[in-house]
Chain A
Amino acid sequence: GAGVSQSPSNKVTEKGKDVELRCDPISGHTALYWYRQRLGQGLEFLIYFQGNSAPDKSGLPSDRFSAERTGESVSTLTIQRTQQEDSAVYLCASRLAGGRTEAFFGQGTRLTVV
């Protein structure tokens, strides 16, 4: 596709349910990032995938959060047993790694835990 695509765009879930968020990066972009952005706040790094290397999971806030990426394509972010504090916009970005390249963001998934 022409840009980074995220789905769903909005998700309302009940506390305690699991949710899965999807990111389709730009074709050929080896690096993929997930960020969390709470209302009016900055970008909180969650996880980074680069090619076939082990992902950098250092930003995941708890073991309820996990993410996978199939090769250099789709990534899914899973939040288990959602809590109200998980409510935020989850942004995915991709870029060509290893050079002076910028990241391209998707529109984000707005997650609301009720």
Chain B
Amino acid sequence: QQQVKQSPQSLIVQKGGISIINCAYENTAFDYFPWYQQFPGKGPALLIAIRPDVSEKKEGRFTISFNKSAKQFSLHIMDSQPGDSATYFCAAVTRDTGRRALTFGSGTRLQVQP
């Protein structure tokens, strides 16, 4: 129940295209869903996050879509650029203080070709 399943494992997109990464969860206690972006040699950094009381959150070219009933959420990168090439991790957070408070997906390696 603690898993967050992420797909695809890797993704190749042409410059200007839309990159879509999907995540699904089981634990209904999760109530906050951040996405992290990691460049080679760096630690993951927060990209965008959503609460389950909204179905979509947009920040620039990055959009999170959230489907509470399906327990799924996704990251859309519009007009993908070579500089977006990185590994992306979804995560899910609960309000409690146990370890299960924070669970990461397995990551998606995105490559945007010029």
Contacts and interface: CB of A to CB of B under 8 A. Distances in A.
Q: Are A and B part of the same complex? A: yes
Given A100-B51, A106-B43, A43 B89 contact: yes
A109 to B, nearest CB: 10
Given A45-B99, A91-B43, A102 B106 contact: no
Interface in B78-114: 89, 91, 93, 95-99, 101-102, 104-107, 109
Interface in A17-76: 30-31, 33, 40-43, 45, 48, 50-51, 53, 56, 58
Given A105-B43, A107-B43, A43 B104 contact: yes
A45 B105 CA distance: 11
B72 to A, nearest CB: 19
Interface string A91-108: 101010111111111111
B98 to A, nearest CB: 7
Nearest to A103: B102
Interface size class of B (residues with CB under 8 A): 20 to 34
B49 A98 contact: no
A53 B99 CA distance: 11
Contacts of A103: 34, 46, 91, 102
Nearest to B107: A42
A50 B31 contact: no
Contacts of B62: none
B107 A100 contact: no
Chain A to chain B: the 7 pairs with minimum beta-carbon distance, closest first: A105-B43, A100-B32, A56-B99, A102-B34, A42-B107, A42-B106, A48-B99
